[in-house]
């Protein structure tokens, strides 16, 4: 495993957030944009020492992708290996092959369609082939957080969602608010207060998948960090809003999750203006 101590806590959080964002962009690609999003995904992995070393450690089995892709039947799906390391190797090498040979993303997704729509093929391919690789990396990052002791850190307000533990520093007066910030101290406090209630309601909601709960909680924590920053990164805030909206689409109208989510979305608009 990569030496976790080469990353600070903030560096780890930024890496985790950025990876989830670029992975989400690929997984939710429109077919016209899929090749470009694949390039972004692979570029991020290769430019991140922590993730690229993880890939290298698992990428031991070599596959003849030229032959595998060429000999695949028109309606055949790729047979993913059972072993985790071999599965990581196979998927990563397949995606690299698509990128290096400039294969149209739709062509590689043939066999995954359930109808005549191109988008359906791309969506199914991403869900059945790309998502397992993303999940392996997310799991690795989660294990890294445990090894770094981030799951046992004290201080702040703890929110438990299954095995996920997010932290928000909810104490008054602990953050220094700059005069140049978009959010005032009162607005930041409001965002933290509503977020605290939202996370608790989210943990109790039975309709929202556990993975989605953990993801939105992590992005929300990052958005609050940006709200306290002199120069908030709009990309992180925008992705957080998208994750929240995805939960809104599942949540029951009028529920605590839905009501509090709407309040947070309104507050985040100030950071995206």
In whole angstroms, how large is the CA radius of gyration of the chain? 20
pLDDT score for 157 = 36
Whether pLDDT at 67 is above 90: yes
Q: Where are the alpha helices (DSSP H) in 76-209?
A: 84-100, 105-108, 118-125, 131-147, 185-204
Average pLDDT over residues 121-131: 91
Task: State the Cα–Cα distance between residues 105 and 99, nearest whole angstrom.
Answer: 9
Average pLDDT over residues 222-247: 82
pLDDT band for position 219 (cuts 50, 70, 90): confident
pTM for this one?
0.62
pLDDT band for position 249 (cuts 50, 70, 90): confident
Task: State the Cα–Cα distance between residues 2 and 107, nearest whole angstrom.
Answer: 35
End-to-end alpha-carbon separation of the chain, Å? 41
Task: State the Cα–Cα distance between residues 266 and 244, nearest whole angstrom.
Answer: 11
Instruction: Quickly list DSSP for 230-253.
Output: SS--HHHHHHHHHHHHHHHHHSPT
Residues 6 or more apart whose CB falls under 8 angstroms from that of 157 comprise 167, 168, 169, 170, 196
Segment of 62-66, 145-149, 247-251 carrying the highest mean pLDDT: 62-66
Q: Do 176 and 188 touch, CB atoms closer than 8 A? A: no
Residue located via tokens 């992995």: 45
Task: State the Cα–Cα distance between residues 88 and 93, nearest whole angstrom.
Answer: 8
Task: State the Cα–Cα distance between residues 268 and 271, nearest whole angstrom.
Answer: 5
The 3-state DSSP composition of the chain as helix, strand, coil percent (nearest 5) reads 65, 5, 30
Closest CA to 25 of 16, 14, 15, 36: 36
Q: Do 240 and 264 touch, CB atoms closer than 8 A? A: no
pLDDT score for 56 = 94
Task: State the Cα–Cα distance between residues 54 and 52, nearest whole angstrom.
Answer: 5
């Amino acid at each position: 495993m990569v030496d976790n101590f080469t990353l600070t806590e903030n560096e780890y959080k930024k890496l985790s957030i950025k990876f989830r964002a670029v992975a989400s962009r690929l997984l939710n690609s429109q077919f016209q944009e899929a090749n470009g999003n694949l390039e972004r995904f692979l570029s991020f992995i290769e430019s991140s020492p922590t993730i690229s070393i993880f890939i290298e450690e698992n990428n031991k089995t070599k596959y003849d992708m030229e032959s595998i892709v060429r000999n695949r039947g028109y309606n055949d799906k790729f047979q993913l290996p059972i072993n985790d390391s071999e599965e990581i190797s196979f998927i990563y090498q397949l995606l690299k092959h698509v990128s290096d040979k400039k294969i149209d993303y739709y062509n590689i997704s043939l066999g995954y369609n359930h109808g005549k729509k191109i988008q359906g093929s791309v969506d199914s391919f991403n869900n059945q082939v790309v998502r397992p690789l993303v999940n392996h990396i997310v799991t690795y990052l989660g294990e890294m957080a445990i090894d770094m002791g981030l799951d046992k850190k004290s201080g702040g307000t703890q929110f438990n969602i299954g095995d996920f533990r997010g932290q928000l520093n909810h104490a008054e007066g602990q953050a220094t608010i700059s005069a140049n910030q978009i959010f005032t101290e009162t607005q930041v406090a409001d965002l933290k207060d509503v977020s605290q209630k939202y996370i608790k309601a989210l943990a109790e909601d039975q309709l929202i998948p556990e993975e989605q709960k953990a993801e939105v909680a992590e992005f929300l924590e990052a958005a609050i960090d940006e709200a306290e920053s002199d120069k908030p990164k709009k990309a992180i805030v925008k992705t957080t809003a998208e994750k929240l909206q995805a939960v809104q689409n599942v949540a029951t109208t009028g529920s605590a999750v839905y009501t509090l989510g709407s309040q947070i979305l309104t507050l985040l608009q100030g950071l995206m203006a």
